[in-house]
Structures are given as structure tokens and as C-alpha cells.
Copies of this chain bind each other. A is one copy, B any other.
């Protein structure tokens, strides 16, 4: 678990907090290795290192990918690394002088992977709990829709908790899908107190499941990196999510109309066809879901930007997805 500036699982501080001029010996995760050749034909490698907070690229000279592999160092290896931190064009630069498989065999990949700021189990359980609270059994005529949602989340608990929610835009981290869904369920719940004619059970089920298809649209590596699957390209997560819902209804006494509305919400949560919606929101819960989705994505992008901005500073370029530079106020 990662909090503040200390990785609770390794007791090591952020790599990006190391001072210029310092040298470090510490465990890290190698998540990628890229070999390059200098102009004289000598191989060197760029290694991507994860410390549980972010990715850092470091150079290691006079070695090759094959050399490293011979020493059992491949992508997704936990290593003990010796690094030197220097300055380069005003930014920190990292050089690796030595890499070896980590001596501490208790360390695992997951100890170095960035996670959301809320514990995964806490979020998962809170979603289930809120779905239960919102359940509506229509005076015993039907099984609540919440039950359908919970059955799905129970069956796919593991990928639902670990999938990323994007390749690069927002919530692109291990557990990103869960974190995104979690905050949306909470926002949905809060807004139902303001817009009281909204169907709370329906909106919460929609918030919890709207991106469930991303489990199959992306493959998320153990290190939290997402990549498109061929099914993602051929069908998209809207169709796959809607199909999933449909497959979970057979043999259950759900209110059919309400299941239809849930499927409609998944198909329409991108809002307009221009942004990939299969159909446009035709009920208020679908429209509310669309805005809650967008809002959460944008809030995440601001939070990401604010991590590296000083107060009173503007970002040095337009942020993709935000249409403007970002400013961090100074109060």
C-alpha cells in the first residue's frame, strides 16, 4: 500500500524525492527493459523502474538486454539497484551502476505497483454495501437489480479489482477500474439526494458496472500497464458490458424493464455517438451516469497534474483531455 511519501510495503521513500547528487541502494521493480545502441555500436539499456508511486526511466551503460537476462533480470523482476541521481536540463536523471535480483525474497511485484489512494478491499466492500442499501425488491415481486450487480461483481471480483480503466487517459493504473467505479458510486449516491426522482438502485448499479467491459477491452499487466485486446478493438467495452448483463439474467426473476434500463445505461454512458455512445441517454439515470463518469475522469486528471505542480504554477502545456493548461491556486 502506498500513502504519502512512503511505500508502506517496502518502507522506502519516493524515488523521485531523492536529492540530486545522491546515490541510492534500494529494492525496485523493473517493469520494462529497452536496449539501445550508441553511435559507436555499443549496447546500453533503458530500464523502467517502479517504486510504488510512479515510473522512472534510468540508463544503464555497458550492458545489454541479453546480459541482464543472463543475470535473471527481465521485465517484472524485483531487483536491488544501485543508482546515482544527477541533473539534466533542470530535471533529475538516473543512472544505474548495478542491478541484481532482490535479496529480500518476500518482496513481490505488487509491492511496487502504483495503487489508488484508497485500499482496494475497502472500496470493493463499500460498493457492495451501497448496492445492498439501494436494493429494491418491488414488494417481493422481483429480485432486486442490485442482486444482479453483486453477482457480477462477485464472479469477476479479481479482474474488477485489478484492471486499469485506461491505456493512458485517466485511472490508468492497477485498480483504476475499481477506483473509478467507487468514486462514481459515491457521487451517484450523493446526487440522488439532490435529484430525488432518480432511481437510486438503477443509478448505483450503472455506476458500479458501466465500465465492466473494460475487463475484456484491456489486458492489465501485474505491474498495472494496460493494453488493448483484440476483443477490445472488435467490440468495445460498451457492447461487451451490455452483453455481460444480458448473460446474467437467465433464470432470475429480475424486473425486465429495469434490466433493460441498465443495459441502455451501459450502451449510452459515453453520452453522444461522437464520443462512442451506442445510443444517446434516453432516461435521466443514463444522462446522470454520463456526467458522473466525465466528472470523475476529469477530477482524476486534475489530481494527477496537481501532484507535480507548485502552487501558483500553470502546467507547461495543454493537458490532453482537459483542453487547457491547469493552474494550481495559491491561497
Interface residues in chain A, defined as those with a beta carbon under 8 Å from any beta carbon in chain B:
34-42, 44, 61, 88-89, 93, 95, 138, 183, 186-187, 190-191, 193-195, 197, 228, 230-231, 233-236, 238-239, 242-243, 246, 255, 257-258, 260-261, 263-264, 267, 272-276, 278-284, 287-288, 291, 294-295, 298-299, 302-303, 312-314, 322-331
Contact = CB atoms under 8 A, between A and B. Distances in A.
A230 B303 CA distance: 18
Contacts of A44: 39
B233 A325 contact: yes
B190 A327 contact: no
5 contacts: A39-B40, A195-B299, A273-B275, A281-B322, A284-B302
Contacts of A257: 329-331
Contacts of A190: 190-191, 193-194
Contacts of A264: 234-235
**Nearest 3 A-B pairs (CB), nearest first?**
A38-B39, A280-B324, A190-B190
Q: Decide if the interface of chain A is mainly helix, strand, loop or mixed.
A: mixed
A279 B234 contact: yes
A190 B276 CA distance: 29
Given A190-B193, A288-B295, A314-B228, A234 B42 contact: no
Contacts of A228: 314, 325
Contacts of A313: 230
Given A41-B61, A235-B278, 18 more contacts: A35-B89, A38-B38, A41-B95, A138-B331, A183-B194, A183-B195, A191-B295, A228-B325, A231-B260, A233-B279, A234-B263, A235-B267, A239-B239, A239-B278, A255-B331, A274-B274, A282-B326, A287-B295
Contact of A326 (B231, B263, B283): B283
A221 B257 CA distance: 25
A207 to B, nearest CB: 11
B267 A233 contact: no
A299 B194 CA distance: 11
Contacts of A183: 194-195
A233 to B, nearest CB: 5
A283 B324 CA distance: 10
Contacts of A275: 273
Contacts of A39: 36, 38-40, 42, 44, 61
Contacts of A61: 39-41
A203 to B, nearest CB: 12
